[in-house]
Amino acid sequence: MFKKVFLLMIMFFGFLLKVRASELALTSKSAILIEASTGQVLYEKNSDEALPPASMTKIMSMLLIMEAIDNGSLKMDDEVVISERASSMGGSQLFLQTNEVYLVKELLKGIAVASGNDAVVAMSEKIAGSVENFVSMMNEKAKSLGLTNTVFKNPHGLDEEGHKSSARDMAIMARELLKHEDILQFTSIYEDYLKKNDGSSIWLVNTNKLVRFYSGLDGLKTGFTKEAGYCLTATAKKGDLRLISVVMNEPSSDERSSDTASLLNYGFNTTVLYKAFDKNTSLGAKRVEFGKKDAVNLSLKDDYVKVLSKNDDKPSYSFEILVDKLKAPLKKGDVVGKANVIDNGKVVDTVDVTVLEDVLKANLWDLFNKNLKSITGGKTKISN
C-alpha cells in the first residue's frame, strides 16, 4: 500500500523532486532517457544489453503502419479482414473473429491502447501480405535505423527465441515513431471502446497507467512476458521539451511505472531545450546563376537545437557557410551545402544548409532582360 501511495506522489509531485542521475536507484535491468528532438542521451543503465522487448515490439509495428499511412499506401478508413491466424492469437487481444472486418484506425487504436496481438497480426497481413513478410520489413527498418541489438521474430512481442532489442534501440524506434505525430492521438488514450461486428463493444484500457497519472505523458507502449519482465517505453512533453524513456526487465508493473516517472522527473527537472538558431532566419544571400532571381537567402535546413543543463550558460554560436556556386532551378528546402557551427573559435558541428525560397530557371527573355539592364545600368525597364 505504501509503495502505491509513494508512486502516486512521484507521478503528481515529481516536479518538486530534485534528483541527480547518480541518485536514480532504478530496479530495471536496463534503462535509458533521451531528449526526443536531438536524441541526446540524458541517462542510461546497461542501455545496449539485448533483452526480450515483449509488446514494446509493437512500436516498430506501429511505425511501419504509420509510414504506410503517411506514404499513401494505406488509409485510416481502409477495411481489414481478420484472418484465422489473426483471430487465433493468444496473449493480450481484442477477441477479433475470423472474417470480421474493421477499419485500420480501429485496429491501430486496439494495438496502441490494448496491445492487441490479433490486431497487429491483422495489420501485418494487410500491409505485407503475410506476417513473415512484415517481420522482414521490421528487420529491414531496424537495420536502416542502425539498431545493432535488435532482431524481430514476430510483430507482437510474444516470447520467441532470438527476439530481442535494447533500451537504446527502443528509444531510437520511439523517436522515429514520434515523427508521425498522429500516433499520439491513439497512444494517449487511457480508455475507450471498440465496437465489434456483432454490435457489442469491448472496453479498451491502456496498460500504460502513466497516461492517466503523469502530466504530459502521451505514450508509448508497455510490454510484459515471463521472460521479458515488465517493460515500458514512454514519452512525455512539458513546454518545448519532449523526453523518451525506456525501462526493461522490471520486477513489477508498479516498479515499471515508478522508474519511468523517476526518469522523466529527472529529465524535466534538470534539462532545458535551447533553440540556438531558427531555420526560418536568413544567414545571408548568395548569387544564383541562370535564375529568375539574382540571389537567394540561405539558412540552416533545420532548427539548431541544443540540450542544456538548467545550470549551463547559453552558448553563442556562429555559422560558417560552405556553399559552392548555385544554379537555378532551386526549391525551398533543397540541401545546397553545409555550415560549420562555431563555438569559442572551434568547429563543434556541421549541419545542412538550404535556400529559403524557390528560384525558377530563367528563360531566354529573362536572360536578355537581365543583360540589357546590366548594359543600361538597370535604368531601362522592359516589359514582356
For the annotated catalytic residues, the residue numbers are 55, 58, 115
Count CB neighbours of 122 within 10 A.
28
Residues facing 216 on adjacent strands: none
CA–CA dist 212, 312 (Å, integer) = 33
247, 320, 330, 253: which is closest to 288 by C-alpha? Answer: 330
DSSP three-state, residue 350: strand
Instruction: Indicate the helix (H) or strand (E) that contains 131.
Output: helix 131-144
Report the Cα 183 to chain-centroid distance in Å: 10
CA–CA dist 189, 193 (Å, integer) = 11
Report the Cα 341 to chain-centroid distance in Å: 25
CA–CA dist 325, 17 (Å, integer) = 54
Instruction: Indicate the helix (H) or strand (E) that contains 5.
Output: helix 2-13
Cα separation of the two ends of the chain: 83
Compute, in degrees rounded to 10, the torsion defined by CA atoms 162, 59, 215, 257: -20
